Amino acid sequence: METIQKEFLGEKFSYTTEVDEDGKGLWTNTIDNDFSKWLHQLRIDNRELFKVQYSVSENAYKVLEKLKERIGVFDDSLLVRAITITFINFIDTRAGRLILNKLNACIAAGGLDILQEGDTLKKSLYFSPVGIRDVEAYANLTGFKRSKVVKNALYSVLLISINSDKEIKKFWEEEILEQLTTIVKAA
Amino acid sequence: MNALEEIVDDLQFLDKLIIIYEQGELDFWGDRVNPPNLSKDEFDLVLYRIDRADSLKWIARESQKGPHGKTGEDDCFKFNCSAEFGGIFENETKNYFVKGYFFDKDDLKGVAIQSFREE
């Protein structure tokens, strides 16, 4: 058994585990639970580590406002968190690949331009311990900064929400809206 | 045949791996510096972005480390895969290597991921 230090959000989580011949540490469900508890405590001790700043244009924010009305949520942060998690775990996966490919064609034709118009608003939100694990993993895999992870998710989802393509509209109405509503109501 | 074995009985390898990963036990070997092994959180995201297991091979397992090292299947699977990341920014495809084995032999309970790294 050896003690391993895992770096996360600039802090160190220590755990004792079995190490194999190649120096890899065994990550078990028990260690995962301990890590979650450590993260909860870290959020209590230093909430700022869980903060992500992002920017949004005035036009994109208007679309977000309409979405807030439709879902029945008043808090920007709550909805943007739900959008980010839904994007990472559902839309940008095999399940949403065809839709994202269609969206790319729309972006290539200038579809994103209208969303990017207007002054830039600076915003920030705080992720939960579970949410920050998804954001960090996605950021590590893509090389994106956390702010870019949120922006990618937010603009992609807003663009999907106003798209008139029949297939994208169906995906939005039947899949994404339901997931966003569920996450927001559970919060 | 136990319940998990019945669920995955007729499935292709990748679908079988996903179901066992979701519903079974997991031993994940991570946090190695050189060559760097990616984490379980990262494996969670990559697994749902891959379409197929390329160059899938079964090789005799050498390591008996871990809680299921002695009871796991004799052969390890290893494969390469590609995962696409998209959105409003340019899509990017990344390549990964995965190696592991199912356990226990003759009584399927879960999967051990021994290696997961970017190629």
Encode pLDDT of A45-82 as tens digits. Answer: 999 999 999 999 999 999 999 999 999 999 999 999 99
The β-bridge partners of B25 are B110
> Cβ of A129 under 8 Å from any chain B Cβ?
no
pLDDT value at position B58?
97
> Cβ of A1 under 8 Å from any chain B Cβ?
no
Q: Report CB contact under 8 Å: A137, B27.
A: no
CB B111 within 8 A of CB B100: yes
Residue pairs spanning A and B at CB distance below 8 A:
108
Distance from CA of residue A157 to its chain's centroid?
A: 11
Distance from C-alpha of B82 to C-alpha of B1, rounded to nearest angstrom: 33
pLDDT value at position B77?
97
Chain B partners within 8 Å of A29 (Cβ): 25-26
> Cβ of B28 under 8 Å from any chain A Cβ?
yes
Q: Mean pLDDT, to the nearest integer, of B14-32? A: 91
Helix axes A76-86, A129-142, angle to 10 degrees: 50
Give residue for tokens 């060559």: B35
> Cβ of B31 under 8 Å from any chain A Cβ?
yes
The residue among B15, B41, B70 with the most chain A CBs within 10 A of its CB, best to mutate, is B41
Pairing mode, strands B75-85 and B92-103: antiparallel
Tell me which residues of chain A have a pLDDT lower than 70: none
Can you tell me the ipTM of this complex?
0.92
pLDDT value at position B60?
96
The β-bridge partners of A125 are A52
Binding-face residues of B in 74-113 toward A, CB within 8 A: 83-89, 91-92, 94
Band (B45; pLDDT cuts 50, 70, 90):
very high
CA distance B31 to chain A (A): 6
Q: What is the mean pLDDT of chain A?
A: 93
pLDDT value at position B31?
67
> Cβ of B10 under 8 Å from any chain A Cβ?
no
Q: Mean pLDDT, to the nearest integer, of B9-24? A: 95
Q: What is the pLDDT of residues B67-97, one digit of tens each?
A: 999 999 999 999 999 999 999 987 899 999 9
pLDDT value at position A48?
97
Distance from C-alpha of B105 to C-alpha of B74, rounded to nearest angstrom: 8
CB A59 within 8 A of CB B68: no
The pTM score is 0.94
Chain B partners within 8 Å of A32 (Cβ): 40
Q: Report CB contact under 8 Å: A137, B50.
A: no
CA angle A77, A80, A86 (to 5 degrees): 140
* CA–CA distances in Å: residue A162 to residues A24, A89, B64, B96: 46, 21, 54, 35
Q: Mean pLDDT, to the nearest integer, of B16-45? A: 89
Q: Report CB contact under 8 Å: B32, A138.
A: no
Indicate whether B36 pLDDT > 80. no
Pairing mode, strands B110-118 and B25-30: parallel
Indicate whether B111 pLDDT > 80. yes
CB A14 within 8 A of CB A35: no
Cis status of the peptide bond prior to A129, with omega within 30 of 0: no
pLDDT value at position B90?
79
Distance from C-alpha of B96 to C-alpha of B104, rounded to nearest angstrom: 26
Chain A partners within 8 Å of B30 (Cβ): 24-25, 27
Chain A partners within 8 Å of B51 (Cβ): 94
pLDDT value at position B23?
95
CB B35 within 8 A of CB A78: no
Distance from C-alpha of A169 to C-alpha of A172, rounded to nearest angstrom: 5
